Amino acid sequence: MKDYAKGYAIAIIVLMPILYMIDSSLFFVNNSIAIYSIAMFTVLSVLLYYFLRKSIFSPNKQLFLSITIANTLVKMVFSVGMLLIYKKINNPIDGDFVLPFLIIYLVFTIFETWFMIRMADEKP
């Protein structure tokens, strides 16, 4: 958990200035896609961490891989769902709201890959 927390902190520290450079108002608007995205990916990555931690000690050797594949599917479904709901509720005038979302998705994907590799190395 210590490595996970350190990696998460680094991901957020890297993410904030990038998002601020794109649009400084992203964090001061109540219905910002950036805030919703960070919250969603944080919850999904914490759940992934706990499920993978349990799978390391499971007798089922394929469980780690199955959880990783399920995570990819869940992230895709939730991502598309979030973008569609955001568009429906907020009616943005253009598609610029997608760029911060994609950057957050990329940073969290890199972070998850990093901690999954570290966890796979721990697997007995």
- Ranges of the chain whose pLDDT falls below 70: 24-31, 123-124
The whole-angstrom distance between residue 24's C-alpha and the CA centroid of its chain comes to 21
pLDDT of amino acid 33: 85
Residue 37 domain flag: yes
Give pLDDT tens digits for 46-77.
999 999 999 988 888 899 999 999 999 999 99
Residue 38 domain flag: yes
DSSP for residue 31: T
What is the reported pTM?
0.86
Closest C-alpha among 21, 36, 47, 24 to residue 89 = 36
Residue 112 domain flag: yes
Structural domain of residue 63, as residue ranges?
2-16+30-122
Mean of per-residue pLDDT scores for the chain: 88
User: What domain count does the chain have?
Assistant: 1
